[in-house]
Structure 1
Amino acid sequence: MEIKALRTFIAVAETGSFTRAGQRLSVSQSAVSQQIRILEKDVGTPLFTRRARNVTPTQAGNVLLPYARQITAKADEAAAVISDFEGMGRGRVAIGAGGAICHHVLPSILSEFSARFSKIEIQVLSGFTMETLDRTLDGTVDVGLLVLPITTGGLTATELGRDELVAIAPRGHRWESLERVRARDFTAEQVVVYNRSSRTFRTLERFLLEDGVFPKFGMEISDLEAVKKMVEVGLGVSVVAAWAARREVDDGAIISRPLAPRGLYRTWGLVRRSGETATASHRAFINICKSRFASLLSSER
Structure 2
Amino acid sequence: MRQLNLDQLRTLIAIADLGTFSAAAKALHLAQPTVSLHISELESRLGAQLVVRGSRNVTPTPAGAALVERGRRLLRDTDEAIDAVKRQAEGRTGRVRLGASTGVVVDLLPQVLEALGGGYSGIDVEVSILGSYEAMSRLAAGTLDIGLVAMPQPPVRDLVVTPWREQPMMAFVPQHWKAPKRVTPAWLAKQPLIFNDATTHMYRLAMEWFASAGFAPRARIELNYDAAIRNLVAAGYGAALLPAEQAANGAPDERVQILPLVPRLTRWQAIAHRQHAELDGATQSVLKVLTTFRQL
Is TM-score (shorter-chain normalized) higher than 0.5? yes
Please state whether the residue corresponding to 2:173 is helix, strand or coil: strand
Query: How has the CA–CA distance of structure 1 residues 226 and 241 changed in structure 2, closer, same or farther, with 3 Å as cutoff?
Result: same
1:277 is displaced (CA, Å) by: 2.5
Kindly indicate whether residue 165 of structure 2 is the aligned counterpart of residue 164 of structure 1: no
Please state whether the residue corresponding to 1:140 is helix, strand or coil: coil
Kindly indicate whether residue 228 of structure 2 is the aligned counterpart of residue 226 of structure 1: yes
Give the Cα–Cα distance (whole angstroms) in 1 for the partners of residues 117 and 139 of structure 2. 22
Kindly indicate whether residue 250 of structure 2 is the aligned counterpart of residue 251 of structure 1: no
8 Å contact 2:169–2:241 — kept in the other structure? Answer: yes
Aligned to 2:178: 174
8 Å contact 2:168–2:267 — kept in the other structure? Answer: yes
Aligned to 1:271: 272
Please state whether the residue corresponding to 1:203 is helix, strand or coil: helix
8 Å contact 2:149–2:270 — kept in the other structure? Answer: yes
Please point out which of 194, 202, 205 is paired with 1:203. Answer: 205
Query: How has the CA–CA distance of structure 1 residues 191 and 220 changed in structure 2, closer, same or farther, with 3 Å as cutoff?
Result: same
- The root-mean-square deviation of aligned C-alpha atoms, in Å, is 2.2
Aligned to 1:94: 97
What is the identity, as a one-letter code, of the residue corresponding to 2:237? L
8 Å contact 1:248–1:254 — kept in the other structure? Answer: no
Query: How has the CA–CA distance of structure 1 residues 230 and 248 changed in structure 2, closer, same or farther, with 3 Å as cutoff?
Result: farther
| Greater CA drift, 246-255 or 216-225 | 246-255
Give the Cα–Cα distance (whole angstroms) in 2 for the partners of residues 156 and 110 of structure 1. 22
Please point out which of 151, 154, 161 is paired with 1:151. Answer: 154
Query: How has the CA–CA distance of structure 1 residues 164 and 244 changed in structure 2, closer, same or farther, with 3 Å as cutoff?
Result: same
Percent identity, aligned pairs only?
20
Query: How has the CA–CA distance of structure 1 residues 248 and 236 changed in structure 2, closer, same or farther, with 3 Å as cutoff?
Result: farther
8 Å contact 1:97–1:126 — kept in the other structure? Answer: yes
Alignment map for 1:1-301 (pairs within 5 Å): 87-154=90-157, 155-175=159-179, 178-247=180-249, 250-261=252-263, 263-274=264-275, 276-294=277-295
Give the Cα–Cα distance (whole angstroms) in 1 for the partners of residues 218 and 151 of structure 2. 27
Aligned length: 211
1:170 is displaced (CA, Å) by: 0.6
Give the Cα–Cα distance (whole angstroms) in 1 for the partners of residues 144 and 224 of structure 2. 22
Give the Cα–Cα distance (whole angstroms) in 2 for the partners of residues 88 and 203 of structure 1. 36
1:253 is displaced (CA, Å) by: 2.5
Aligned to 1:19: none
Query: How has the CA–CA distance of structure 1 residues 287 and 89 changed in structure 2, closer, same or farther, with 3 Å as cutoff?
Result: closer
1:86 is displaced (CA, Å) by: 6.2
Query: How has the CA–CA distance of structure 1 residues 266 and 116 changed in structure 2, closer, same or farther, with 3 Å as cutoff?
Result: same
| Greater CA drift, 152-161 or 98-107 | 152-161
Which structure has the larger Rg over C-alpha atoms?
2
Q: Deviations over 1:229-279 (max 9, x none)?
A: 111111111101111233577231211111103x21121111012464322
Give the Cα–Cα distance (whole angstroms) in 1 for the partners of residues 255 and 92 of structure 2. 44
Higher share in helix: 1
1:214 is displaced (CA, Å) by: 2.8
Please state whether the residue corresponding to 1:292 is helix, strand or coil: coil
Give the Cα–Cα distance (whole angstroms) in 2 for the partners of residues 274 and 287 of structure 1. 15
Give the Cα–Cα distance (whole angstroms) in 2 for the partners of residues 256 and 190 of structure 1. 16
